[in-house]
Chain A
Amino acid sequence: MTASNAFNFFEYHAQISQDNVLLSYKGPLTDVLLAEFSRDIRTKLQSNRKVGKKVFAIFMELAQNVLYYSKEVNYFGNKDKVGTLVITQSDKYFTLITGNLVYKSSVPLLIEKCEIVNSLDREALREYKRTLRNAPSEEESRGAGIGLVQVALTSDNRIEMKIKELQGDYAFFVISVNVEKNAADDNEE
């Protein structure tokens, strides 16, 4: 029992050492860190410029969401928001995953936003983005909502959302999105 419950550092190290993990971070997030990560992503993906730019742009929106909205705070230093950022790759996809704490009370709205985004085709998504952009920005929302719509537009894929309820007022909120490596030029309408 102890063996399976204990954190297996060797296993963890083996997993993140594989080529398929481009970025794996859990901890306090700052704008400085985010800039460094984004530069690292661009450098690593510069051989596939078009797709690299998509991964970069999606990373920026998702990571900014974590930076603004995470309800987990590191009380050392500057009370930075805490979150988890992961980018992996398979033969076909880059996958971006972010995780952070949210209030349980925000969960229904997050699920609803995600379901709306996934129900829309490209034209409808553009329309929806325009509607959100034309509306006066909400109090707590530095352009969020639009961020998710933009992620769906840029990735040309569904946004997967997972929520794990924790004890107390919080839930762990995970967003995952795939970007195809060989994005065919199929955007011409």
Chain B
Amino acid sequence: MENLEIKGESGVYFIPNVKLNAQSGVCEISGESYLEDTSEFYNAINNWLEQYFKEVNKSLTFNFRLTYFNTSSSRSILDVLRVLKKYEEKGSQVTVNWYYPEDDDSIAEEAEDYMKDTGLKINMFSFEPED
């Protein structure tokens, strides 16, 4: 199965870095998320995850390391977490790590709220953001 990699950039929109690795089962999204077509962007991630769980189905770790996302992205992130929850319930081994900038309480709160919404366990870690 192919990996999915998207190189982030900050132009008219803020595109996050995405690295979904089918061999290691380690996935990461980092940077800032404010997109022209938010659903389309995150659907690509969800489709990859669906395929991974159907074809590879080893354990999977998803690391979120976002420093900013708009409310539209926050809806789509919830959809990603729902896909992860769905496959966890079917017996797949899923680990979700949520890295939040140490000076940003609201991104930490988001993880707490996502846990309530999905019932997924989300491990939270703070990190020192770079400029």
Give the interface of A toward B (CB within 8 A): 31-32, 35, 46, 49-50, 53, 56-57, 60-61, 64, 126, 129-130, 133-134, 137, 142-143, 146-147, 150, 153-154, 185, 187
Contacts and interface: CB of A to CB of B under 8 A. Distances in A.
Contacts, number: 55
Interface of B: 11-13, 34, 36, 68, 70-72, 74-75, 78, 103-106, 109, 113, 116-117, 131
B109 A137 contact: no
A134 B117 contact: yes
Contact of B70 (A31, A61, A185, A187): A61
Given A130-B113, A130-B117, A133-B117, A143 B72 contact: yes
Contacts of A46: 131
Given A32-B12, A35-B12, A60-B34, A126 B113 contact: yes
Contacts of A153: 106, 109
Nearest to B105: A187
A134 B104 CA distance: 23
Contact of A35 (B11, B70, B74, B117): B11
Contacts of A32: 12
Given A64-B70, A142-B72, A143-B72, A53 B13 contact: no
Contact of A133 (B68, B75, B103): B75
B74 A133 contact: yes
Contacts of A134: 78, 117
A146 B131 CA distance: 28
Nearest to A49: B103
A116 B74 CA distance: 21
Contact of A147 (B13, B71, B105, B116): B71
Contacts of A146: 71, 74-75
A137 B11 CA distance: 27
A130 B71 contact: no
Contact of A50 (B11, B34, B103, B113): B103
Given A31-B12, A32-B12, A35-B12, A61 B103 contact: no
B36 A143 contact: no
Nearest to A145: B71
A147 B11 CA distance: 22
A46 B103 CA distance: 13
A64 B78 CA distance: 21
A41 B100 CA distance: 22
Contact of B71 (A49, A53, A61, A187): A61
